[in-house]
Amino acid sequence: MLLLLPLAAGCATRATVTGKVLHRGKPLETGGVVFLAKDGHTYNGNIEKDGTYTVSKIPTGLAKIAVVVASGPTGGGPPMKVAPGAGKMPEGVQGGSSPAGMTQQGPKIAEQYTDPEKSGLTYEVKSGSQEHDIDIP
């Protein structure tokens, strides 16, 4: 029994965060939300037409947040999926640029909000399911 204690202590508690992304008080209708967790990995979810998002399996602790607004090459396509990375935003997303072939759709948000290191958006992720709305000026 004591031998299992170190294994249990090493398991990070995971959580699910849901909420709504607002830009100037109105729901964003496309894009993605990226949480940069304390473990250095990114966890993401799509923004739905009503502005809601869900990001699952995030380790507990302080996370930095970014919001990316983009869609398919012709616009109006499905929200983009931001691939998880190891401690950094996926290539082509950091610094506000869209991945190759992607076009901006919807309102243009300030570039700083597309980078979790510069956005100033943070959230203390706790164990279990929780809600956190993101309001971008």
Is 6 inside any structural domain? no
- In this structure, is residue 69 part of a structural domain? yes
Asked, for residue 36, whether it belongs to a domain, the answer is: yes
**Structural domain contains residue 96:** yes
What pLDDT, in 10s, does the model give residues 43-68? 999 999 999 999 999 999 999 999 99
Please give the residue range of the domain that contains residue 114.
Answer: 12-128
DSSP 74-88: TSSSPPPPPPP-BSS
* 42 belongs to a structural domain: yes
Asked, for residue 86, whether it belongs to a domain, the answer is yes
In a domain, 4, yes or no: no
Report the C-alpha gap between 42 and 87 in whole angstroms. 6
Query: pLDDT (tens digit, 9 = 90+) per residue, 54-107?
Result: 999 999 999 999 999 864 443 343 444 444 443 344 443 433 333 333 344 567
Rounded CA Rg of the chain: 16
How many domains, the chain?
1
Query: Please, what is the end-to-end C-alpha distance for the chain in angstroms?
Result: 52
The amino acid at 95: G
Q: What is the CATH number of the domain that holds 76?
A: 2.60.40
Distance CA 56, CA 110 (A): 26
Please tell me the least confidently modeled range out of 3-12, 26-35, 105-114, 115-124. Answer: 3-12
Distances (CA, A) of 110 to 9, 11, 24: 40, 37, 12
